[in-house]
Structure 1
Amino acid sequence: MNQRQNYHCALSGLVLLSFSTAAQEQGASAAQANNPLANMTALNFQNYYIGDVTESDEDANQFWIRYAKPVSVAETNWIVRASLPVNTYPIPPSGSHTTGIGDFNIFAAYLIDTGNPAVSFGVGPQLTAPTATKDEVGSEKWSAGIANVLFNASSAVFQYGYLLTWQESFAGEDARQDVNVGAFQPFAFYQLGGGTYLRAAPIWVYNFEDDSYSVPLGIGAGQVIKKGNTVYNVFVEPQFSVADDGAGYPDWQVFLGFNMQFLD
């Protein structure tokens, strides 16, 4: 498993979901629209277009379909989220590309009562299954690990938090590189009013197998719209690497998203 696949294995553990008369309701929806632990069903379509892959001078793309749903188990509350990517990666040294379904990821976050309804905190296990349709677009490894997320919406104007994940392979194709990767995603959202907001949500990745890493920064904009019982959240966020070491990471990329959240 090369750095590119390790990077996107890290991405598989990450997600920004979308919450929600008039101005007050729209403001509440916007303030919670990127809460990873929002207590409602969500369907997200997200895309990373990577304009330049490190040490290859080629582009790549990863499209994610993600579904999240709150569940209650023995009087405990959880968010369960499943993700499946469609990957397009360059094949060195030819420079040609291959496309296929990547590895399936699922995680469950136990929601801990913080005593403040505006502050969400969750932790739980994650599992990645080797479902890739082609060798080049997946790890061929079973991996498991943990995810921890914090989201603070105490302010209607500025929300922030982080998502920390780690996973390690425990089974799979012996000939492929083992997975042992951690990722930290700080995120911040500044509401401009009317559902429009500024955003920053880069993903910093460290590969414990070979000490390679990627540290991008980005800033973008989004719009939250509530129609009936559905909250729509669309955004774009260009991101640029400020530090990296190793092949297969993004030198620059554009993160696009169309998220839907369904209110009861």
Structure 2
Amino acid sequence: MMPVRRFVPAVAAALISSLASAQDSSTLAKQLANPIASLVSVPFQSNFDSNIGPGEDGDRYTLNIQPVIPFSLNEDWNLISRTILPVIDQSDIFPGAGSQSGLGDTVQSLFFSPVKPTANGWIWGAGPVFLLPTATDDLLGTEKWGAGPTAVALRQTGPWTAGGLANHIWSVAGDNNREDVSQSFVQPFFTYTTPKAFSLTLTADSVYNWKTSDWTIPVGVFAGQVFTVGKQIMQIGAGPRYYAQSPESGPDGWGARINVVFLFPK
């Protein structure tokens, strides 16, 4: 049996270690709420949508592979690379379309961001965004190259994170037989993070198509938890999405999202 004089310090050390681990996880959860945090992460975001097409017979599953890689440029500035590579499986998105599976178009964003927040506590970043025609099927992409500006701004106060991310993409080259791209993406987000690394997020991944004058607005509420499996730190989250507005042939009603994020803190 361990002597009392050794047992008490051992228990205290274990409690301190557990507390430190919880604090570290909570810090990582808050960093994940910041799209331009200096944290290497690889999210695998699964989205399930239905009621697609004029007859509302279509279904789509999209796995977005979204590595986030920060680079230190100097003592004052970081460059954050955010990539979205979609893997899509869909069927019956319009009568006679059948089913398609493969890659969609890649969206690559680069944010130049100050290392330190502003005097008022704002964290921000801005830079270019690019559309790359990586789709493996005509019905999974635009067959267009595109570019435009992107920006993000947020504040983190206590357990709260509130901000927004936006970009606009114009097509600059590609298949002349395909419709040009002029599309805005606007994503407000609000996250509450607990000391135990549990987070609750409200967001709307809104897209406005300037060519068709249509909004697509899925509003989602997602719960997530940071934890460790072996030596791998990760977050798993899930929740429902509801299409508050969508084009006539777009997704309708309820959908869902499951997110698995692998974290690689420095």
Give the TM-score normalised by structure 1: 0.83
Contact conserved, 2:144 with 2:172, CA < 8 A, in 1? yes
Query: Could you tell me which residue of structure 2 aligns to residue 48 of structure 1?
Result: 47
Q: Which has the larger radius of gyration?
A: 2
Is 1:187 the equivalent of 2:189?
Answer: yes
Contact conserved, 1:229 with 1:262, CA < 8 A, in 2? no
- State the shift of 1:95 in Å: 5.8
Distance 2:32 2:117 in 1: 20
Distance 1:202 1:189 in 2: 12
1:25 counterpart SS class: helix
Is 1:63 the equivalent of 2:66?
Answer: no
C-alpha distance after superposition, 1:66-122 (max 9, x if no partner): 222112346632101222111123342126321111112211101035335964211
2:27 counterpart SS class: helix
Contact conserved, 1:143 with 1:179, CA < 8 A, in 2? yes
How do 1:136-215 residues align onto structure 2 when only pairs under 5 Å count?
A: 136-155=139-158, 157-215=159-217
- State the shift of 1:237 in Å: 2.1
Query: Could you tell me which residue of structure 2 aligns to residue 87 of structure 1?
Result: 88
Distance 2:220 2:149 in 1: 25
How do 1:1-264 residues align onto structure 2 when only pairs under 5 Å count?
A: 21-53=20-52, 55-57=54-56, 58-73=58-73, 76-91=77-92, 92-94=94-96, 96-112=98-114, 113-115=116-118, 119-155=122-158, 157-226=159-228, 230-264=232-266
Share of identical aligned residues, percent? 27
Give the TM-score normalised by structure 2: 0.83
Contact conserved, 1:214 with 1:245, CA < 8 A, in 2? yes
C-alpha distance after superposition, 1:177-207 (max 9, x if no partner): 1110101111111234422222112211110
- State the shift of 1:22 in Å: 3.0
- State the shift of 1:232 in Å: 1.3
- State the shift of 1:31 in Å: 2.4
1:219 counterpart SS class: strand
2:28 counterpart SS class: helix
Distance 2:74 2:193 in 1: 37
The answer to which of 114-123 and 133-142 deviates more is: 114-123
Unpaired runs of at least 5, structure 2: 1-19
* Aligned-partner residue type, residue 38 of structure 1: A
* Aligned-partner residue type, residue 218 of structure 1: G
* Cα gap change, 1:109 to 1:171, in 2 (>3 Å): same
4+ runs deviating over 6 angstroms: none
Distance 2:252 2:185 in 1: 14
C-alpha distance after superposition, 1:51-79 (max 9, x if no partner): 22253411111111122211234663210
Distance 1:72 1:205 in 2: 31
Contact conserved, 1:217 with 1:240, CA < 8 A, in 2? yes
1:260 counterpart SS class: strand
Distance 1:245 1:261 in 2: 36
* Aligned-partner residue type, residue 202 of structure 2: A
The answer to which of 124-133 and 31-40 deviates more is: 31-40
Distance 1:231 1:248 in 2: 36
The answer to which of 64-73 and 102-111 deviates more is: 64-73
**Higher RCO structure, 1 or 2 (CA under 8 Å, sep 6+):** 1
Distance 1:99 1:55 in 2: 21
Contact conserved, 2:105 with 2:131, CA < 8 A, in 1? yes
Query: Could you tell me which residue of structure 2 aligns to residue 11 of structure 1?
Result: none
- State the shift of 1:40 in Å: 2.1
Contact conserved, 2:26 with 2:194, CA < 8 A, in 1? no
Contact conserved, 2:126 with 2:149, CA < 8 A, in 1? yes
